[in-house]
Amino acid sequence: MILEKNRLSQSLVQPHAAEAGASRENVFFHLFKASWLLALLLLVLNLGTVAGLGNINALEKSLFMVAGLIYLANKPLNWGPTISALIILLTIFICAFFTRFFSFSWGRTASAVTALFALVPFFLARPSERERNLALKSIALAPFVLVLYGVALWMATGNPIIFRDHTGAQRLGGALHPAFLAAASYAGALSSAFLYSQHRSFRYLFFCAASIVICLLSGTRMPSVCAVASCALVIVGATRGGASRVGIIGLGLAAAVIFLMTFGDQILVRFMSGSTSGREDMWAVLNEWVVRYPLVGVGFGHHGLLIPESITKLTRTSAAHNEYLRSLVELGYLGAPVFLAGLFLLFVQSSASSFSKITFQTLALVLLVFVYASTDNVFFLSYSLLIALVISWAPPAPMPSHGQSTAKP
Do the beta carbons of residue 178 and residue 193 sit within 8 Å?
Answer: no
Rounded to an integer, the average pLDDT of 197-226 is 88
- Phi, psi angle pair for 403, to nearest 5°: 90, -10
Q: Delimit the domains of the chain by residue range.
A: 19-393
pLDDT in tens, 119-157: 999 999 999 999 999 999 999 999 999 999 988 888 888
Measured between alpha carbons, how far is 137 from 126 in angstroms, rounded to an integer?
Answer: 17
Helix (H) or strand (E) holding 185: helix 178-199
Question: What per-residue confidence (pLDDT) applies to 231?
Answer: 93
At 349-401, the pLDDT tens digits run: 999 888 888 899 999 999 999 999 998 889 988 999 999 999 999 986 444 43
Exposed / middle / buried, residue 246 (Cβ in 10 Å: 0-12, 13-18, 19+): exposed
- How far is the C-alpha of 191 from the C-alpha of 233, rounded, in Å? 13
- Is the pLDDT at 8 greater than 70? The verdict is no
Cβ density class 161-187: b for 16+ within 10 Å, e for less: beeebebebbbbbbbbbbbbbbbbbbb
**101-119: pLDDT as tens digits:** 999 999 999 989 988 999 9
